[in-house]
Structure 1
Amino acid sequence: MSDKKKDTDWTVAEIEAAVDAYLGMLDLELAGHKFNKAHENRELRASSLSTRTKGSVEFRMQNISKVLMTMDRKPIKGYKPAKNVGSNVEQLIRTALTNRGFQPGDPAIPTADEETLERRAAAIQKKHIKEPPKGIKKPKKASSTRTVYVRDPEVRAWVRNEAEGHCEGCGEPAPFQMHDLPFLEVHHVKPLADKGSDQVSNAVALCPNCHRRCHHSNDRVAFTASLYKRVKRLIPEE
C-alpha cells in the first residue's frame, strides 16, 4: 500500500487515532508536563497508522491544530496550524473532537491572553460587525506574573475594520497581513493601567511605528493629542 495517500484516504479510525494522540499530548502540555512529539509519531506509525509516513502524521497533527483554532480552542504550541485543511478531513477531525467533548468556544468572550485575543479578534473581524461593541468600561486585571487586563475581542476587531487597512495615526497602509487581514495594532489612547476603558471611544488602530511613537517618542504627548483630532470617535477620558 502506498505511503503517499491523499488526505481523503484517511479512514475515520485513523483520524480518531491521530486525534486521541494529539489530545493526550495537549493534556500533558496544559498540565505543564513535557512530551516527545517524535516518540508519539513513532508510536502511531507502529500501531494504528502503520501505513503512514512520519511527515504525513506530522501534517495531520498540524491539521488538528488548525481545526482547534477554528473552534476557538488553543492548540499544542509545537504543532503549527496548517494553512489549509481539506473539507472532508476538517469535518472528520471536528467530529472526532466533538465526540471527545470539545465544543466550539465563543470568540466574543473577553480574555487577557494576547494570543487568544488576537485569534478571536481576527475571527470576528472577518464577520464585519456593523454596530460598535459595548466593550469594557473598567477592564479587570488578570492573574499573571505581569499586569495584564481582560479585553474585548469585538473592540479590537471593530476598530481595525473602521481603519480599513490604514493606520489611524499616519494614514499609511498596514505594513503586512496576518490571519489574511491587514495588520494594525490596537492602542488604548488612555492606557488601561491608568484606568482607561477598553471601548471603541478609547482605541485606535495603528501601524507598529505609530504605536511605538505613542509610547516612546519625544513627541508622544503631542502625537497622542493629535489622535483625538484625527479620529472622531475618540472621547478623552478623565
Structure 2
Amino acid sequence: MDTKKSNIGWSDEELGASVDGYLKMLKLEKAKQSFNKTAEHELLREGALSARSLASVDYRMRNISAVFEALNHRPIAGYTAANNVGSVIISRIRRILEQRGIIEYQDNAPTSDEALLELRATRLQSEPIKTKPEGITAPQPVSTTSTSYVRDPEVRAWVRQQAAGVCEGCGVLAPFNLDNGQPFLEVHHVKHLARKGSDRITNAVALCPNCHQRCHRSSDRDAFTESLYAKIGRLARE
C-alpha cells in the first residue's frame, strides 16, 4: 500500500509537472501512439511528484481534464473529469496552460484569483480601453480558505487609467512605479463587495495605499468615503 502523504497543498512545480505529464500523454494520444498511464504516473513520481500517491496523481489528471472540458478542449480518453474542482486549482491550471501556449490569454475574462486578476488588469492597462467596461453587478463569492470574489480586470485597469497616476482620494501622485513603468495605485470598492457592492466603475476608485487603508481602518473612514462620492463624479451609491 502506498503510504506517501498527498493531503498537503500542491506547489507550482508539482502542478506544472502534472500539466506537462498530461500534455505529453495527450500528444501521444493524438498521434495514435500507445502509452501506459500508470507508468507515466510513476515516472512523474520519480521526479517532481515524489511526495504524491498514485491515486493523488490520477485525481490531479482528472482535475486537468475538467479544465479541458470547461474550455471545450478534448481531454485524454479515460481521464473522467473530476467533479467540484476548486476554483483556485482551476485558475492555477488555466494559468499554466496559458504559459504553455495551449490556450490563449484571456485578459478581459473575470476571475477570483487575485494574482491573475492583477496580471490581466496590468496587461489591459497598457493599452487604451475605448469603451467603459460593464463590470459585474453582483460579484459571486468563491469559497477557498477565505472568501474572494470574481472581478473584472477591465474595471480595475480602466479606473487606474482614469486616475492617471494620481490618487483619487488625496490627489497625491502614486508612491512609486512598477517595473513596467505603471504607477502603483490600488483599486477600492466604495461599497465593499462583502456588503453586496458591485464590481463596476461606478463603485471603484484608484487610491494610494494610505487612502485605501483609510477607507477600511481609520476612525474617519465613513466621512472619507463620503468625500469620495462628493469628489468623483462617476461614483453612484448602491
Normalising by structure 1, we get a TM-score of 0.60
CA contact (8 A) 1:214 1:221 kept: yes
Letter in 2 for 1:156: R
- Provide the residue aligned with 1:160 in structure 2: 160
AA in 1 matched with 2:147: T
What's 2:204 paired with?
A: 203
Matched residue type, 2:17: D
Displacement of 1:28 in angstroms is 3.9
- Letter of the structure 1 residue corresponding to residue 202 of structure 2: S
The alpha-carbon deviation at position 105 of structure 1 amounts to: 2.0
Asked if 1:228 corresponds to 2:218, the answer is: no
Offset, 1:27: 3.0
Choose 138-147 or 209-218, whichever is displaced more.
Answer: 138-147
8 Å CA contact 2:110–2:150 kept in 1: the answer is yes
| Identity %, equivalent residues | 52
The runs of at least 4 aligned residues of structure 1 exceeding 6 Å deviation read 22-25
Match of 1:216 in 2: 217
Structure 1 position 25, deviation (Å)? 6.7
User: What is the match of residue 89 of structure 1?
Assistant: none
Once the two structures are superposed, what CA deviation does each residue of 1:35-65 show, in whole Å capped at 9, x if it has no partner? 39xxxxxxxxxxxxxxxxxxxxxxxxxxxxx
Instruction: Identify which of 16, 19, 22 aligns with 1:26.
Output: 16
Q: 5 Å matches for 1:128-207?
A: 128-178=128-178, 179-207=180-208
Cα distance, 1:103–1:30 mapped onto 2, change above 3 Å: closer
Contact 2:191 2:203 (C-alpha < 8 Å) held by counterparts: yes
Distance 1:30 1:214 in 2: 44
Between 22-31 and 179-188, report the one with greater CA deviation. 22-31
Contact 1:25/1:35, CA 8 A, preserved across alignment = no
Partner of 1:4: none
For structure 1, the 5+ residue unaligned runs are: 1-21, 37-72, 77-93
1:75 Cα deviation (Å)?
5.5
In 2, the alpha carbon distance for the partners of 1:229 and 1:128 equals 27
- Distance in 1 of aligned mates of 2:139 and 2:175: 29
Q: Please, what is the CA RMSD of the aligned residues?
A: 2.8
Between the two proteins, the alignment pairs up a number of residues equal to 157
Paired position in structure 2 for 1:114: 114
SS in structure 2 of the partner of residue 222 of structure 1:
helix
Say whether the 8 Å CA contact 2:163–2:206 is kept in structure 1.
Answer: yes
